[in-house]
Amino acid sequence: MTGTDNEEFERMYAECRSALQRLCRYKLPSIADGDDVLQDTALTAWANRGAVKNAESFKPWIFRIAANKCNDFYRKRARSQDIPFDELTELIELRLAQTRYGITVKEIVVKETVTETLDALGGADRQLLTLFYLRDVPQAEIARRLNIPLGTVKSRLNAARKRFRSEYPSPPQTKGVLFMKKLPGLLPEYKITATEEAPFECVWEELMGWFLVPRLGEKLSWAIYDQPGREISEEFTMEVTGSAVVHGARGVSVMTKRDAKEDGCEEREFVAQLTDSHCRFLAETHTQDGVKHLYTFLDADAFLDNWGFGEDNCGSDIHPKRKGVITRRGRDITCPAEKFVFDVIDRCIVTINGRDYDTIRLMDIECYNSGMASEQYIGRDGRTVLWRRFNRDNWHFSFYKQKWSEKLPDNERLTINGETYVHWYDCITDHIC
């Protein structure tokens, strides 16, 4: 290439570098590994820049190099590790995993779907089979983690294998389905009582802001209730319809139907992923004005500002713990002035529908969009009991032509870093109905 060609290469690489970085970091076990592969990609692309015939072919060409480098990373890692095989493997095909979290050398590619069968088994069987076969945890380590004798682990694994064989292949989307319940037209009265007890630990696997667990067989209905009238304004029905892969990352497809009083019904589809540590969106698609729009985690701000969460869209932590980044005294709250401020605040009893729920209260400030805060009450089972939204007083003032303290003068208010936030609406799911 000439000097001008070299400058053109540098310009085209700069335009797609951030997307390449997300791809590499997303598919590899750590940020450092991702950055190493990104550098290797850049060097290989530069050395072979003469192969690019025109500007239009540059992006798919360099993304193919990056994908191959990611695959090479896992091939090298697999050669350096002992991959255990056992009787269960005759039911599954093993291949190198492309997960961001931890050192993983395989994932399931199923004849029907192994994950559905594991979900159907549930409980201890699923735990043992997942630890031993899918995460390569030695039996002695399983015994230590579960605090049971090694002989017990061996006998339980043997029994779990037999039950797995008897269940496999499981009929898709029939076992473990959550049947939807009718949500009330008026939000039941509720009471929130903060306690002095320390927040408990739980596994919270729901999609942040959407309440569904992205796992085969899951269904959910949830609704928005405006305050202070407590009347339903929007209702959502969601269903996991099958497995899906986006840019090599494996997840599930979620169909969502929204019914709203003001603007009718609309449908959209997500692809989401649940890992051992996080829950996140991979892609979103919807139809607008007769045109289908598709966004993935590689689409920069168009996706990340609406569906991304955390550094490099790592997602929400399924093991929420108190970090101390948000301080709350009554309705006065202080926190860092940065994006993705999310923390467990305290422990509360939420009384709704005549039942008391022991919950932890999670708060987010500016996580979804600027000028917004929320309270989310999570039960011991990891499911949302109640979700409450607050708007900063001047949120979208140019559209509403009114401050929220004027628009909703009787609604509850919070003070966050000296700014007034006003309670707008609440959400509940069919989990509590």
User: Which has the minimum average pLDDT: 33-37, 176-180, 333-337?
Assistant: 176-180
The closest alpha carbon to 422, from 372, 378, 377, belongs to 372
Domain of residue 62, CATH code: 1.10.1740.10
Which of 33, 48, 79 is the endpoint of a domain? 79
Q: Are strands 413-416 and 384-392 parallel, antiparallel or unpaired?
A: unpaired
Residue ranges of alpha helices (H) inside 365-411 are: 397-400, 404-407
The domain boundary residue, chosen from 79, 111, 126: 79
- 112 contacts 168 by C-beta, under 8 angstroms: yes
Residues 35 and 123 in one domain: no
Specify whether the backbone of 173 is left (phi greater than 0), alpha (psi in -120 to 50) or beta. left
Residues 12 and 133 reside in one and the same domain: no
The span from the CA of 395 to the CA of 393, in Å, is: 6
User: Are 61 and 195 in the same domain?
Assistant: no
Q: Are residues 339 and 412 in the same domain?
A: yes
Structural domain span for residue 68: 3-79
Q: What is the CATH number of the domain that holds 404?
A: 2.40.360
Same domain (yes/no): 70, 101: no
Q: Whole-angstrom Cα distance, residue 168 to residue 166? A: 6
pLDDT, tens digit (0-9, with 9 covering 90-100), for 29-78: 677 888 899 999 999 999 998 888 788 788 889 988 998 888 788 777 65
340 lies in the same domain as 369: yes
Angle, helices 31-47 vs 3-27, to 10°: value is 150
In a domain, 131, yes or no: yes
Residue 292 has pLDDT above 80, yes or no: yes
Look at residue 172 and tell me if it is in a domain: no
Residue-wise pLDDT tens digits, 102-133: 333 333 333 345 666 777 776 778 888 877 77
Residue 185 within any structural domain of the chain: no
Confirm whether 180 is domain-assigned: no
Q: Does residue 177 lie within any of the structural domains?
A: no
Q: Say yes or no: 143 and 247 in one domain.
A: no
Q: Which helix (H) or strand (E) holds 304?
A: helix 300-307
Number of structural domains in the chain: 3
Q: Please write the tens of the pLDDT for every residue from 348-394.
A: 999 998 899 999 999 999 876 688 999 999 999 999 999 999 999 99
**Statement to judge: residues 339 and 400 lie in one domain:** yes
**Residues 75 and 98 placed together within one structural domain of the fold:** no
Of 301, 314, 310, the C-alpha closest to 30 is 314
Global pTM reads 0.67
With residue 363 as reference, give the H or E element that holds it.
Answer: strand 355-365
Strands (E), 136-248: 190-194, 219-226, 232-246
Indicate the residue among 79, 113, 136 that finishes a domain.
79
User: For residue 30, what is the DSSP state?
Assistant: S
Cα torsion angle, 326, 332, 336, 339, sign: positive
Q: Is residue 43 part of a domain?
A: yes
Instruction: Choose the most confident range, by mean pLDDT, from 109-118, 156-165, 319-328.
Output: 319-328
For residues 123 and 223, state if they share a domain. no
Q: What is the CATH number of the domain that holds 132?
A: 1.10.10.10
Tell me the DSSP string of 75-98.
HHHHHTS-----GGGGGEEEE---
Say which residues have a Cβ less than 8 Å from residue 428's Cβ, sequence separation at least 6: 183, 187, 222, 223, 225, 352, 385, 386, 387
Same domain membership, residue 100 and residue 207: no
Q: Name the 3-class secondary structure at 387.
A: strand
Same domain, 40 and 101: no
In a domain, residue 183? The reply is: no
**123 within a domain of the structure (yes/no):** yes
The dihedral through the CA atoms of 295, 297, 299, 301 has a sign that is positive
